[in-house]
């Protein structure tokens, strides 16, 4: 229960009272009787507290939160797989993910309009290695956010908003870049399968990517929904709620991104 308290800000006494009065949360029990909560429980508690703060009675807030949270993807990769099952998935080495990321980042930085950027780095050390680059990218964006196991949220001047993720968040196994923009949309999401006892450069990921405007918007919406503190992304979430329409330029832009990806992948191939 302590983990849920820390991640939601809801006191242990409140959680126990909800469990007694409303049957929620309904944690699984270990053989020794200890409570075990999953990610969905955490999401529902967060949403229930937000709704309660708007003035709703607790039982109504809990019921609405259940309906909302059950539709929330646990991560960017999981959400895209669920909503866009037709997207092909490729298992690629880390060096290829670096090439894909750089291609999307550079294509976005090349004069993209109304740019919103999101990056999922797994661990803070990975982000720090790319921080100078991302600070420069953030300067060309209307807003930029990076997710990693940061100790606390931070909004450094001139840099992306640093959004913490916990050790049990599904996003901790993902590497993602999302560039939501009017004229250069693109996203890439990779999930790291467990059990890889290999050196860091040899890690492999299940990866999907796209330049489809609606899918990129979906990925950006999922990313904002994963921020534990909604205040970090409130303005951006409202903007992302606006619909996007197909453009006659979409094919040309997708071809431009594909050409850049192919070039960067070639540079990343050993012996190329």
**CATH code, 221:** 3.30.870
Residues recorded for the chain: 272
Q: 14 and 37: one domain?
A: yes
Q: 94 and 35: one domain?
A: no
Residue 76 pLDDT more than 90? yes
The CATH number covering residue 20 comes to 1.10.1660.10
Residue 110 pLDDT more than 80? no
The answer to whether 230 and 50 have CB atoms below 8 angstroms apart is yes
Q: 210 and 245: one domain?
A: yes
Q: 46 and 144: one domain?
A: no
Q: 131 and 254: one domain?
A: yes
Cα–Cα distance, 96 to 130 (Å, whole number): 16
Q: 39 and 91: one domain?
A: no
Residue closest to 148 by CA, chosen among 133, 134, 169: 169
- Average of per-residue pLDDT across 64-76: 74
Residue 272 banded pLDDT, cuts 50, 70, 90:
very low
> Which residue segment(s) compose the domain that 27 sits in?
2-69
CA within 13 Å, CB half, 271: 0
- Average of per-residue pLDDT across 81-93: 91
**Last residue within a domain, chosen from 69, 104, 126:** 69
Q: 84 and 46: one domain?
A: no
Q: 107 and 222: one domain?
A: yes
Q: 125 and 178: one domain?
A: yes
The residue that leads in pLDDT, 119 or 226, is: 119
Residue closest to 134 by CA, chosen among 107, 158, 163: 158
- Average of per-residue pLDDT across 188-207: 91
pLDDT computed for residue 71 by the predictor: 66
Residue 72 banded pLDDT, cuts 50, 70, 90:
low
Q: 93 and 185: one domain?
A: yes
The residue that leads in pLDDT, 71 or 105, is: 105
Number of domains in the chain: 2
Q: Which residues pair with 29 in a beta bridge?
A: 35
The answer to whether 159 and 131 have CB atoms below 8 angstroms apart is yes
Residues 6+ apart with CB under 8 A from 234: none
pLDDT tens sequence across 154-176: 999 889 999 999 888 889 999 99
Identify which of 42-46, 113-117, 234-238 has the greatest average pLDDT. 113-117
Cα–Cα distance, 1 to 217 (Å, whole number): 35
Residue 75 pLDDT more than 70? yes
**Last residue within a domain, chosen from 52, 69, 86:** 69
- Tell me what the pLDDT averaged over the chain comes to: 85
Q: Which residues pair with 90 in a beta bridge?
A: 207
The residue that leads in pLDDT, 263 or 178, is: 178
Q: 43 and 109: one domain?
A: no
The answer to whether 208 and 89 have CB atoms below 8 angstroms apart is yes
Residue closest to 220 by CA, chosen among 248, 168, 245, 185: 185
What SS3 string covers the chain?
CHHHHHHHCCCHHHHHHHHHHHCCCCCEECCCCCEECCHHHHHHHHHHHHHHHCCCCHHHHHHHHHHHHCCCCCCHHHHHHHHCCCCCCEEEEHHHHHHHHHHHHHHHHCCCCCCEEEEECCCHHHHHHHHHHHHHHHHCCCEEEEEECCCCCECCCCCCEEEECCCCCHHHHEEEEEEECCCCCEEEEEECCCCCCCCHHHCEEEEEEECCHHHHHHHHHHHHHCCCCHHHCHHHHHHHCCCCCCCCCHHHHHHHHHHHHHHHHHHHCCCC
Q: 45 and 108: one domain?
A: no
**Last residue within a domain, chosen from 69, 103, 122:** 69
Least confident of 10-14, 103-107, 146-150, 264-268: 264-268
């Amino acid at each position: 229960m302590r983990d849920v308290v820390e991640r939601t800000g809801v006191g242990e006494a409140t959680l126990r009272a909800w469990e007694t009065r409303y049957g929620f949360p309904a944690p699984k029990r270990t053989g020794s009787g200890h409570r075990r909560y999953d990610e969905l429980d955490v999401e529902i508690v967060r949403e229930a507290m937000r709704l309660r703060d708007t003035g709703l009675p607790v039982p109504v807030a809990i019921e609405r939160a259940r309906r909302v949270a059950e539709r929330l993807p646990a991560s960017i990769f999981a959400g895209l797989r669920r909503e866009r099952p037709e997207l092909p998935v490729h298992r690629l080495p880390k060096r290829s993910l670096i090439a894909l990321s750089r291609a999307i980042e550079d294509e976005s930085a090349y004069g993209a309009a109304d740019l919103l950027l999101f990056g999922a780095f797994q661990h803070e050390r990975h982000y720090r290695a790319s921080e100078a680059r991302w600070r420069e990218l953030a300067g060309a964006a209307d807003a930029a956010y990076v997710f990693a196991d940061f100790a606390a949220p931070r909004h450094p001047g001139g840099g992306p908003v640093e959004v913490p993720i916990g050790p049990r968040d599904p996003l901790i196994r993902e590497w993602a870049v999302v560039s939501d923009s009017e004229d250069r949309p693109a996203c890439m999401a990779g999930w790291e399968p467990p059990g890889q006892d290999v050196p860091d450069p040899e890690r492999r990921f299940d990866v999907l990517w796209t330049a489809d405007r609606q899918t990129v918007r979906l990925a950006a919406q999922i990313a904002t929904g994963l921020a534990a503190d909604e205040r970090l992304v409130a303005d951006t979430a409202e903007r992302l709620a606006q619909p996007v329409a197909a453009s006659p330029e979409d094919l040309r832009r997708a071809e431009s991104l594909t050409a850049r990806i192919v070039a960067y992948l070639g540079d990343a191939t050993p012996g190329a």
